[in-house]
Amino acid sequence: MPGRRPAAVLPEGLRRDIAEAGYLPAVVHDIVAMAIGPETVVTHLVHQEMTMDEEAVRRHLTVLVLTEHRLIIGHADDHESGEPDRQHLATATTEVVPVRSVRGVMLTHVVPDPQHYRGGLGGRAVTMTLGWGSVSRLDLVPAVCSDPTCEGDHGYEGTVAGDDISLRVAADSDGEAALARALHFAQELSARLGR
């Protein structure tokens, strides 16, 4: 039915974080609410990024929501229409993944002054990579042999890595609270893997 609003009501903390991100909050709220449906939110993470190219500054918002049984990933992005009047467009997408399908949660911590580390993995930044087999990255490099004078073609060698989503959260740019929320989200999701 056109114009129908999603039935789900998002928890106050998630609504607040979407509103504070300031990027298309009504659109992001509705796509996330529709994807969550009647399930209860365990935890969430809202993360925004800006990228620049030769023509524009573009915003990108990612919302990760963990329910008891599902991981909901919402994305909203800026786009240009390609039309002469250069109408502003945005795309908003959700993906729903059963928690049992999530294969891994990888955290890369940036810890300043490691020789004086006294515990507490807050650090200054964390990169969280989640994998569920939807996207794989193939890194290829030319293969070489041990003969430095060899000019033969040895083909390529490389690695295949799952990389469905990767977010970097830094205390310096995103704030200490955002870094703590990212660590909490990763911990909650990790605890549910393999159940």
Q: What is the pLDDT of residues 43-77, one digit of tens each?
A: 999 999 877 766 666 788 999 999 999 999 999 98
For residue 108, the cross-strand partners are 127
- Spans of the chain below 70 pLDDT: 1-8, 53-57, 79-87, 121-122, 134-139, 159-163, 194-195
For residue 173, the cross-strand partners are none
* Two tokens, residue 105: 């949660």
**CA–CA separation, 1 vs 19, rounded Å?**
26
Q: DSSP letters of 104-137? A: EEEEEEE-SSGGG--S-TT-SEEEEEEE-SS-EE
* Two tokens, residue 88: 């502003």
Residue 74's closest CA among 107, 19, 17, 33?
33
For residue 126, the cross-strand partners are 109, 169
pLDDT, one tens digit per residue, over 136-156 is 666 677 888 888 888 888 788
**CA–CA separation, 190 vs 99, rounded Å?**
10
